[in-house]
Amino acid sequence: MEKFLHYKNINNGNIAVVSILHHGHLYNKYIDYIDKVIQNHKTFADVNGFDYFLFNSEINNEYNLYDKDFNGPDICLGMSKWYAVNHLFKNSDYQGILFVDYDSCFLKFENFKVPQSTCLSPVYGTPYYDAVLLLYYCLAKGITYKTFVNNTRAHKYNSGFMFINRDFFREPELDDYVEFSKQVFYDVNNNTDTWISQGNFDYTSIMNHTNITLTPFDEVFLMYNIIKNNHEPIDIFDTEIYNVNNMNMVTDQTQHIHFCTDKLQFFDYYDKH
């Protein structure tokens, strides 16, 4: 597994902290901060006796996320993290995996209460901008519209800080979702007024797009699993403590911040620390 990793640290725990830095947009900037990110995430893992793994782009090649003009890791933004989590589950006995996005940091290093099951980070008040592709995929998988409506949560979940256990998803589901996204990509490739047709896009400009109706992001895969399984997490993370997405929202309680949309805050934070 070494070829898939930038770095690993083993504490012989039954929980692993996992992140990934693949060779996508902003990689050349992100890589300059790798030592600081590793030190930050590793410190959190060490305090809790967790193992820590930082995956690299080789995981994308291992699972064939590239095909002709289809740049899977960028078009299916974030799916690399699910393959990293899956790969580690396949090659370990970990009870669960805490995934944290590379573009995040821990502000405090305190004991983490391990959830009983899959535990997710809600994003209150965020629209389902990717609902079109989510609906298409659910219908393609035989989920009725009634089930889709009944099992859809009031809030989206962000994948930048999530605790995943083994029974939440299976590898064939990952492959199927990527293959579906690939077919949509080739079907609409001549229509540039959709997110999926852009290929190597600049994620920092997401808020400037007027039409992002076909977005095969990893969070669509996440929401599909919630709808399919009618999965109600036993708990959700407190959004004032974990996965805060902006420095202006940090409080005395905040332990983890994920610079989800404003990447400049990521660089500014690590420049100062």
Looking up residue 61, the CATH number of its domain turns out to be: 3.90.550.10
Angstrom distance (rounded) from CA 145 to CA 42: 43
- Matching residue, tokens 């502000």: 107
pLDDT band, very low/low/confident/very high, at 190 (cuts 50, 70, 90): low
Count the Cβ atoms, other than its own, within 10 Å of residue 220.
27
pTM of the model: 0.91
Collapsed DSSP state (helix, strand, coil) of residue 187: helix
% of residues, the chain, pLDDT over 70: 88
pLDDT band, very low/low/confident/very high, at 76 (cuts 50, 70, 90): confident
What pLDDT does 83 receive? 97
What pLDDT does 192 receive? 55
Instruction: For residues 33-45, give the mean pLDDT.
Output: 98
The secondary structure element, H or E, covering residue 157 is: strand 156-165
Largest CA distance in the chain: 51
Q: How many domains does the chain have?
A: 1
Angstrom distance (rounded) from CA 101 to CA 81: 8
What pLDDT does 200 receive? 46
Asked if 155 and 236 touch (Cβ cutoff 8 Å), the reply is no
Question: Residue 148: which residues within 8 A CB-CB, separation 6 or more?
Answer: 135, 138, 139, 227
Residue range of the domain that includes 66:
2-272
pLDDT higher at 200 or 269? 269
Q: Which two tokens stand for residue 181?
A: 């996204």
Q: Indicate if the pLDDT at residue 126 is higher than 90.
A: no
